[in-house]
Structure 1
Amino acid sequence: MTDNQQRFRWHPDAQLFAGALPVPSTGVRPASRFCAIDAITTADALTALGAALQSGSGFCLYEGIDPSGLSSEPDQFITLSGGSSGQPKGILRRQSSWIDSFDTNARLFGYTAQDRIAVLGRLSHSLALYGVLESLHLGLDAFALDAVPYRKQAAILAARDISILYATPTQLRLLALGTATEGLPHLRLILCGGGALDDSTAQSIQSLCPNAEIRVFYGAAETSFITLSGPDTPHASVGQAYPEVTIQIRDPDGQKTTQIGEVWVRSPYLFDRYALGHADDTQLRDGFLSVGEMGRLDRTGNLYLMGRKTRMLQIADQTVFPEGIEAQICAATPIAACAILPRPDPVRGHRLIAVLEGPANADLAAEVQQLCRERFGPLIAPKQVLFHPALPLLGSGKIDLPKLSKWVEDQA
């Protein structure tokens, strides 16, 4: 791989937009060896990012942290994690680790010079940054729409003939809610990551974008792509291994298992190390990396995720993954977003509280409790159902669990 292939570029055929406004590719001040870029104002951040790309600098787009201690080599960069802990981590990686997947995606999805890519999230979040950098590197127009009110995002997607969209499930849900009757027929591909895509949101987006293929992928800021779904992916699976990725499921002793265990990954897309913060669950062994996710593989290599090891808990000696209960509630009710939070219980170890997004609804609360009793049993079913007008979100679009947990405590 040549030096040019190891670094991001702004291809001369690519244009960059903050919302509908173009970002100039000439006349920008040359960047330093490493650029810490405040992502709070999208247009300014994109201008600074363009300067970093054209000068061949390392960089980090950040929000809400002190960047003074951050640095990287020119062929590296730092992106922030988007996990639910509320404390971002700085992910240091080689630029080539993303460039390799740019080329893979171009082949997998048949990118052409006519494609235009949009992202809905904050540039400090790795998914949105990835979409922008992929566009620019491959010579496709890139649109960053995070500063556009979600009720106006669809209008830009339609007016600019966007064909490819990177988004989280939450962002897709807001896009569908904010759109009137007009459709988005030019969208041909939606790449959805950062969480489980519930059936209700998937159906709403498919109606809005009738010609779009929705491909769900699973990954982390530390790993990039791990799996990718396809037309034959079983329900509730996140798909099979992304090209050049090897997945293993290991038991607590580190041995491969066909049962539920910890997900370990070997791939060319892994990060180098943490430049800010740390994660106790992130481990590297024998060339395989784990970020503490639990799951299982079926006989054909489809991965089913159970939840994060850090959220796994015991209730009366039963192992419980809150993410599975959340998915069941969202799939079986009109609720598009919910969170299951544990509280100490002197007898059973824990009891669960469900927090649903929306106005208080006693009938729906009773329905959710009955649903969970039937599906998970009376010990596991939430003992209380609360309603929150708008669940607090991190910049990644994931639910801010620490903030929501504090809100639950305040309700007592």
Structure 2
Amino acid sequence: MTGYRSPALGTDPPCSPVNLSRTGAATATGGGLANTGYIGTVTMEQRTPQEPALWPHQVGVIPPAARSFQHRAQADRLRTKVDGGGTAVLTQMLTGMGGVGKTQLAADYARTAWDDDSAAGGLDVLVWVTASSRQAIVTGYAQAGVELCRGDPNDQEKAALSFLAWLTPKAGTKPCRWLIVLDDVADPADLRGLWPPAGAHGRTLVTTRRRDAALAADSRHTIEIGLFTAAEALAYLTASLAGHGRYDSADELTALANDLGYLPLALSQAAAYIIDTADAVATYRALLADRTTALAAIAPDVLPDDQALPLAAAWSLSVDRADTLRPAGLARPMLQLTSLLNANGIPETVLTSEPARAHLTVHRTRTGPNPAEEAAPVSLRDTVHALRALHRLSLIDHTPDTPHHAVRVHQLIQRATRDTPHPPPPRADCPRGR
């Protein structure tokens, strides 16, 4: 039989495995161990807190620098110590659509800060956390708590909170100069109660696709990360291909960069594909222009720079999450509608018109318990909120303060959306699920 030693009363789930043989079922509380019958063997594994690591100390792994990494103006803004009003910048957020290079900019900043051995700029502690879920954040903090402040290795929640408490400045103690990077925050709610404390010696850097108001609270400094400039895109392609003995003309590379909309992720995967296949740039551009060729078909077999997803899938999780935001089920069909229109500016009135609302009503993603309610006609208000949901996930730019309340969407998001088949609407005479 395999059981668990019960934790002390009021704590979270059991903390250590207990292997029992030749015993029956029993229940223990308050840290006790219970059994029925004869115990032949008891094996217990109980980790004890370790001694705190000496400074300087790093927790987590900084992603490696991308090949042909381009220095960008946003990198200089990241190093700003005070904002325009003279207030110290303690928390910074890099926001933008998937594929613009937020993680690479954060990694470059972290490496530079870590390598700075000056008294004014050096770090004592650097913590890199892949923050794609609340559990991932807790796990990263818990590791830091165990390594730095004798956090309980048997209780992640407790160790994580111990770490946050340890970061809080305390009178009479040696100041700790720390940097915490929370990379790829997927939901602002995941950070509830887990924001690092404010302090003169600590800084927090967040990367996220989200643009929710909740993230910008408490004087957090937001830096919008956009596309490469034309010059940056040309420099990137030139350096990437030249590193493999390819010396294509500047005109061809400029045209390719324009076709890819200056998106860093697209440029890196296109360069890898061209290098792997030895295709001419013109051949790749022809494949890209062929609407019968899916983006997945022109992705490299092995992605460069430790990238996790091919271009075609780069936004799929964002679309899924946007579709769960209120009004649920409208973000996906709204994005499908925008993928058929002019990427450089769609008047809001077109997307909120009666034909558009009829499209959304028919093609709404219906996953709730009451399909009849979800089949109700979509209102004007709901269409605007669907646009805002896509904007919050950086899938479109919806700017109500511009003429015609213009909506813009990147051409490759349009292409990926058109490549993704969507299920036909449910038949009116057939209940959903049959």
Q: So what's the TM-score if we normalise by structure 1?
A: 0.31
From the two aligned structures, give the one with the greater strand fraction: 1
Q: So what's the TM-score if we normalise by structure 2?
A: 0.30
From the two aligned structures, give the one with the greater helix fraction: 2
